[in-house]
Amino acid sequence: MLPIDLIALPYQITLKDNRSLQGTLVAIDDQLNLLMANVSEQTGPHSRHLGLVSVPKKTIASILVDKSEYAKANRYRQQDS
Do 11 and 25 form a contact (C-beta atoms < 8 A)? yes
Going residue by residue through the chain, which has 81 residues, state the pLDDT in tens, using 9 for 90 and above: 677 778 999 999 999 999 999 999 999 999 999 999 999 999 999 999 999 999 999 999 999 998 888 888 777 767 766
> In angstroms, rounded to a whole number, what is the distance separating the alpha carbons of residues 69 and 77?
12
Torsion 55-61-66-71 (CA) sign: positive
- Full-model pTM: 0.84
What integer pLDDT is reported at residue 80 of this predicted model? Answer: 66
> In angstroms, rounded to a whole number, what is the distance separating the alpha carbons of residues 14 and 42?
9
What integer pLDDT is reported at residue 69 of this predicted model? Answer: 83
Domains and CATH numbers, the chain: 3-80 (2.30.30.100)
The identity of residue 68, as a single letter, is S
CB-based contacts of 73-79 (< 8 A; 24+ apart in sequence): 73/5, 73/8, 73/9, 74/5, 77/5
What integer pLDDT is reported at residue 81 of this predicted model? Answer: 60
What integer pLDDT is reported at residue 9 of this predicted model? Answer: 94
> In angstroms, rounded to a whole number, what is the distance separating the alpha carbons of residues 51 and 2?
26
